[in-house]
A and B are shown apart, each in its own frame.
Chain A
Amino acid sequence: MTSLSSISKARRRSLADLPWPDLVLIVALIVAFAVMSRLSPAFLTISNLLEVTRFSAEIGFLALGMTLVIITGGIDLSVGSTLGLCGIVLGLATTAGLNIVLACILTLAVGVLCGFFNGFVIARIGIPPLIVTLATLAVFRGLALGFSQAKSFGDYPQAFFALGQGYVGPFPVQLVLLIGVALAVGIFLSRHTYGRLIYALGNNAVAARFAGAPVQSALILVYSLSGFLAALAGIIYTSRLSSARADAGTGFELDAITAVVLGGTAIMGGSGGVIGTLLGLLLIGVIRNGLTLAFIPIEQQSIIIGAALLVAVLLNGFLKTLRSRRRV
C-alpha cells in the first residue's frame, strides 16, 4: 500500500539517489593515481600512461562483452579460452597461407561461433551459464591445445603488428578501438530495444517472455557478442605479442569480471553499464601498471586485484541495501 509519505520519498532527490558506485570509483582512481605515482616516478609520464592502456584495452574488449552477459544475470567464464583458441586459429590460418585479412575474418567468425554455442546451450537447453561456460572454458582451451599441439605460431606479415603495437596519432590502436567499441555497446544498451530487454532479463526473464519479448534471441546475441569481442581481443593480443600460443588468455576472465563488478554492475544482474566498466578497467590498469613499475611481480599484483574484487562486491552490496531501505 502506498501512502503520501512514500510518494514524497520517491519524488525527493534523496542523498541515496546519487550514483554512489561511480563516485566511489572515481575517488578510488584518484587515490590509486596518487599512490602509484609515489611508488615510482616513472608512473606519471604520458608515454607510460598510454602504454598502460594496451593490455587493459584487450581485457576491456572482454569486459565489455562480460558487462552485457552479467547484466542478463549470467556469466561467461570461457572468454579467456576463446581468446586463446582464436589466437591459435589465426596462427594456423596464416601458417596455412591464408591472406591475413581473411584469416582475421575467419578468427572473428570462430569467436562468434564459440559464443553462439554458449548462448544456444544456455537459452535453448536451459543449463545454467556458470556450468556451461565452465565446461566450454575447458573445451575451447582443449581445442586450442589439441589443434596447436602446444606449438606457437609466429608467422605474420609485418603490417599485422600495427594492430597491437601501433598508434593512431599519439594513442595506441587498442585504446582507440576500445573507445569506439565501448561507445557502440553503450549506445546499444541504453537506446536499443534489445538493450532494454537485456536489463529485463537480468531482473525477470519470465515476465519478459510472457510479454512476448524475444528472450532466447537476446541471450544468444549477448553470448555471441562476448565471443566476438574475445576473438577481437585475441587478434590484437597476438599482434602485440607477435605470436600465438594455446595458453594465451588464461585467467583473463578474472580481470574482466573484476572490471565489470568494480564498475558497479551487480553480479546478480539487472543493472550496470559501460561507463562503470571502463572506470573499473582503468582502475585495474592503473593498479597493475603502477605495481609493475614498482617492481612488484605479477603474482602479487593478483593479490591486490583479487582483494579489490571482494571489496568491490561487498561495497556494492552494502550500497544497494542502503538504497533499497531508503526506498518506499
Chain B
Amino acid sequence: MNAPLSSDVSLPLPLPPLLALESIEKRFGGVRALKGVSFDLRAGEVHALVGENGAGKSTLMKVLSGAHRPDGGRILLEGREVNFGSPRQSQAVGIGIIYQETSLYPDLSVLENLFMGRQPVRWGRIDWTRMEREATALLERLELDLPLRSRLGDLGKARGQLVEIAKALLQDARILILDEPTAALSVKDADALLETVRGLKANGVGLIYISHRLEEVTLISDRVTVLRDGEAVGHTIGAEATQDWMIARMVGREVGSLYPRYLRPVGKPLLEVRGLSRSGLLGTGVLEDVSFTVHEGEIVGLAGLVGSGRTELARALFGIDPFDSGTVTLEGKPVRRDPRGAVEQGLALLPEDRGRQGLVLPFSIRQNLSLPSLNFGGWLRPSQEDALSKEFIEKLDIRPALPGLLASALSGGNQQKIVIGKWLATRPKLLILDEPTQGVDVGAKAEIHRTIDALVQEGLGILMISSELLEILGMADRILVMHRGRVAGELPRGSSQEDVMRLATLGRVPDELVGSSSPDSIPPGPNLPGSGEVNHVH
C-alpha cells in the first residue's frame, strides 16, 4: 500500500516503488524537524527534493541513510519495512549517499579510493589484479573514463564526484542520494554529471536529487517534491515543475523581485585593470591580459565557468596571490600587492568560503566585525570597536543583535552579513564579492541583494562574481565573461543567459557585441554534450 502523497497531480503507479518513506516524523528536543513527510522513489527514476536551507532535506536524507532514527512513520524497501541502526546498515541494502564534500583520499590512487576498506584479499594479501579487473568492468558499464592509477588529488573536483558515484555503485547501490552534486562544478562538468545520471537511470538506479540549482532540477527530474518547514508541500512530475512553481512553494509567498535594482548613471572610473597576467605552473596562463574598468556606482558582474579564472582574478586584485605583469589602479593610484595594503587603499574582498576564509567562528560578532579595521601595530580601542559593531549590526540587521555572541551561533545568512559588515567597516571604495549568496536561503538572499544595491547608491563600485546566471543578469550593470583566464567579452544589462553561456563556454565574441579581446586569438572551445538544447544554463 502506498501512502497518499500531498500532490498537485495524481500519478498512476504501474510499478511498486523501490523505496517509500511514509509519514516520517523526526523531533530534536522540542522541535519537529520532519512533520509526517512521505516520499517515494522508483527504479530508474530521478526524484528531486528541493527546499530552503533548514526545510528538512538533510534530515530526511539522514533518516534514510540511517544516521537518524525516525520518531514516527516507516521506511519501505520494495514493499518490505526496514530499520536502519546505522549508516552501514543502509549501505548494506544498497543506499548510497554522494556528499558535497568529497569523502575521498587525495594521496591515494583512484583504484584504492574505490575499494578502501573492502579490498579483495587472497591469503592475507590484497589482490590488486582482481581489484583492477572489477573496477575496469564497472567503469566500462558506466561509460566512465577514470584513470585508475592516478593520484586522486591530481584529478579535479568533477572527476572526484564521478569516483564517488563509481564507489557507491561498486557497493551495489540501487538508490543514490545526490546532495548538491553540481555545487562546485563548472557548467561543462555539471553537464557531464547529468549525462552520467541519465546513464544511471537507464541502468535502473533510483536517484534522489537534492539541489539549489532549480534550472538543473527542471532538466533532470522525473518528479519533484518541495519541502518547507519539515513538510512536503508540493509534488509534481518534472515537466510541470517550473522554477516559479518551485520557488513559490519553497518560500510560501510570492517572492517579488529577487533582484532589486535602482539603476542610475555611473560615476568616474574607480578600478582600472590593464593587462593583468599570471602564469601558472606549466607555463599556461592562469590569467592572461585581463583589462577592464569598474566605475563608481556600478555593479560589474563577472561570469564564467568554474576554472575560468574569476576567483583567481579576485585574489590577484586583492593581493592574496601575486601576479606577473599588468597594472591595477584604484582612483589612479597603484594598488599595493598585499591584502593589508589593498584594504588601506579602499579595496575589499568578500571571499568565496565563508567559514574558512570569511570568519573566525570562535570570535564574537564584534571581534569579527572589527578585524580588518584594526590598526595593526597599535593598541586596541574598545570604545571604537563597540561603536563600530553597533553601527553595522544595526545597519545590516544582523540577528541576534548581540555583539558578544560567537559568530558560530548564527545562521548562514547572518554570518554572511557579518562578513559584509566587516568589510563595509573599512569604508571601501571598491568591493569584490565572490559568490555573495552561496548557501544562503532565499529570504536572506533578497536582503543581501538589497544591501548591495544600497551600496552602489552610495557610490561604491562593485565587482560581483557569481555562478548563478540569474543573479548576475539581475544585479549587474555590465557583465564580463571570463574564459580560460581571459576576458572573453563584455555584455550589457538585459543580455540573455544564452549570450553569457556562449561566451563562457566558447570564449568567442559574438559579432554583434563589443568585446575587449580579438576573436581571432581565441581558439574554439570544446563541444558540450547536449549543447544543442535550449535553456541550457546553470
State yes or no: do A and B touch (Cβ within 8 Å): yes
Contact B376 A2 (CB under 8 A): no
Does A214 lie within 8 Å of B340, measured CB to CB?
yes
Q: Are A213 and B340 in contact (CB under 8 A)?
A: yes
We find that the number of chain B residues with CB closer than 8 angstroms to chain A is: 38
Docked-complex contact A327 and B409, CB < 8 angstroms: yes
- Do residues A10 and B377 form an inter-chain contact, with CB atoms below 8 A? no
B410 and A196 form a contact (CB under 8 A): no
With beta carbons under 8 angstroms apart, the residue of A195, A196, A199, A212 that contacts B342 is A212
Closest to A192 in B: B379
B375 sits at the interface (CB 8 A): yes
Of the candidates B343, B367, B402, B414, the one whose C-beta lies within 8 Å of that of A212 is B343
Alpha-carbon separation in the docked complex, A207 to B402 (Å): 22
A7 to B400, CA, bound (A): 7
The reply to whether A2 and B411 contact each other, CB–CB distance below 8 Å, is yes
Interfacial chain A residues near B409, Cβ < 8 Å: 2, 6, 10, 327-328
- Interface check B380, CB cutoff 8 A: yes
Docked-complex contact B422 and A2, CB < 8 angstroms: no
When distances are taken between beta carbons in the complex, the residues of chain A under 8 Å from B402 are: 7, 10-11
Question: A203 to B372, alpha carbons, bound, how many Å?
Answer: 16
With an 8 Å Cβ cutoff, the count of chain A residues facing the other chain is 30
Contact (Cβ within 8 A) A204 B371 = no
Minimum CB–CB distance from A291 to chain B (whole Å) comes to: 38
Chain B residues with Cβ below 8 Å from A210 are: 320, 339, 349, 351, 357-358
In the bound complex, what is the Cα–Cα distance between A183 and B252 (angstroms)? Answer: 59
Given A2-B409, A10-B402, A194-B377: A203 and B340 interface contact (C-beta under 8 Å): no
Please give, as numbers and ranges, the residues of chain A lying within 8 Å of B406 by CB-CB distance.
327-328
Q: CA of A203 to CA of B359 in the docked complex: distance in angstroms?
A: 10
Check if B374 sits within 8 Å of A206, measured CB to CB: no
Whether the pair B374, A204 counts as a contact (CB closer than 8 A) is no
Task: Please name the residue on chain A nearest to B340 by beta carbon.
Answer: A212
- B361 lies within 8 A of chain A by Cβ: yes
Contact of A2 among B367, B374, B377, B410 (CB under 8 A): B410
Could you tell me the distance between the alpha carbons of A11 and B357 in the complex, rounded to whole angstroms? 28
B399 within 8 Å of A (CB atoms): yes
| Contact status B360-A203, CB under 8 Å | yes
List residues of chain A with CB within 8 A of the CB of B379: 191-193
* B330, chain A: closest CB distance, angstroms: 15
Interface membership of chain B positions 376-391, coded 1 if the CB is closer than 8 angstroms to chain A and 0 otherwise:
1111100000000000
Residues of B within 8 A of A46 (CB): none
In the complex, are the beta carbons of A207 and B343 less than 8 A apart? no
> How many angstroms between the C-alpha atoms of A89 and B357 in the bound complex?
44
B54 within 8 A of A: yes
Check A200 against B360 for contact (C-beta < 8 Å). Answer: yes
Q: A10-B405, A214-B340 are in contact. Are A1 and B376 (CB under 8 A)?
A: no
- Does B525 reach chain A (CB closer than 8 Å)? no
Q: Is A209 an interface position by the 8 A CB rule?
A: yes
Q: What are 24 A-B contacts defined by CB distance under 8 Å?
A: A1-B54, A2-B399, A2-B409, A2-B411, A7-B402, A10-B405, A192-B379, A193-B374, A193-B379, A195-B380, A200-B363, A203-B360, A203-B361, A203-B363, A204-B362, A206-B356, A207-B356, A207-B358, A211-B371, A211-B422, A213-B340, A213-B374, A328-B406, A328-B408
Q: A206-B356, A207-B359 are in contact. List 10 more A-B contacts (CB 8 A).
A: A191-B380, A197-B376, A203-B360, A203-B362, A209-B339, A212-B342, A213-B340, A213-B372, A213-B376, A327-B409
B interface with A by C-beta (< 8 Å): 31, 54, 320, 339-340, 342-343, 349, 351, 356-363, 367, 371-372, 374-380, 399-400, 402, 405-406, 408-411, 414, 422
